[in-house]
Amino acid sequence: MKKHLVAPSVLAADFTRLREEIEMVNQSEADWFHLDVMDGRFVPNITFGMFIIEAINKMAQKPLDVHLMIVEPEKYIESFRKAGAQVITVHLEACPHLHRTVHQIKETGALAGVALNPHTPVSLLEDLIEDIDLVCLMSVNPGFGGQKFIYQTLPKIRKLREIIDTANAKTLIEIDGGVGLQNAESLLQAGADVLVAGSSVFGAKDPRATISALKAFTSVFV
């Protein structure tokens, strides 16, 4: 049985102690680092870019899952790959030529991810699903950590699982926003493969133990 992945979102880390926080994830059972790039245009917030990702890559001992919440992401894919991204996720809502952008990501050797905002139906990916390595379902409106999980994400996971299985594709389903110990199990039961967790991990008394607890849940699907 394949185990689900846990990807702590560094956005919720204490950046005055970034090395320690990265080291904590290195030592934990986490699988990936989730890195949120925001441009103040696609989302109403600005975070960090390739410069910080390059620095994190020097300390990180696990793959970097880079979530681009930016307009015109196609302009920066090669740069993020060079900075160390192993998964590059773009938003469907930011890509008028999604097929081209997905293949541009794959040509760099990275895994290609497509993120959907909470209101975007999963059916829009039906014709491209075989080409996509990961679908990131946003379970909050992108832009900020620490928001409340939007419950309508659950039926979206089930629908997406069906689309993936019908196409016989290997696409991973990632859930991003408001994920924690309280909903991890139902997300996995619905068909999730990757859990992104920001504040529930870095805000916990014992972040490493929280990561282990997130890893310990089981799913009937993966």
By rule CB under 6 A, what count of residues binds ligand DX5? 21
Least CB distance from residue 103 to Zn ion, whole Å? 22
- Under rule CB under 5 A, residue 65 binds Zn ion: no
The reply to whether 36 belongs to the active site is yes
Number of other CB atoms surrounding residue 52 within 10 Å: 16
* Max CA separation in the chain (angstroms): 46
Calculate the alpha carbon distances from 218 to 33, 129, 177, 207 in Å: 21, 25, 20, 20
The half-sphere exposure of 151 on its side-chain side, counting CA atoms within 13 A, is 1
Report 161-200 residues binding ligand DX5 (CB under 6 A).
Answer: 176-179, 196-200
Q: Which of 5, 13, 32, 36 binds Zn ion (CB under 5 A)?
A: 36
Query: 3-class DSSP state for residue 183?
Result: coil
Count other Cβ atoms within 10 Å, centred on residue 202: 21
Binding region for Zn ion (CB under 5 A) out of 35-43, 53-61, 117-125, 151-159: 35-43
Residue whose entry in the numeric block shows the structure tokens 């916990």: 204
Quote the least distance from Cβ 153 to ligand DX5, whole Å.
Answer: 12
Task: Please pick, from the candidates 63, 73, 113, 145, the single residue that binds ligand DX5 as defined by CB under 6 A.
Answer: 145
Examine residue 176 and tell whether it contacts Zn ion (CB under 5 A).
yes
Residues in the site for ligand DX5, rule: CB under 6 A?
9, 11-12, 34, 36, 67, 140, 142-143, 145-147, 176-179, 196-200
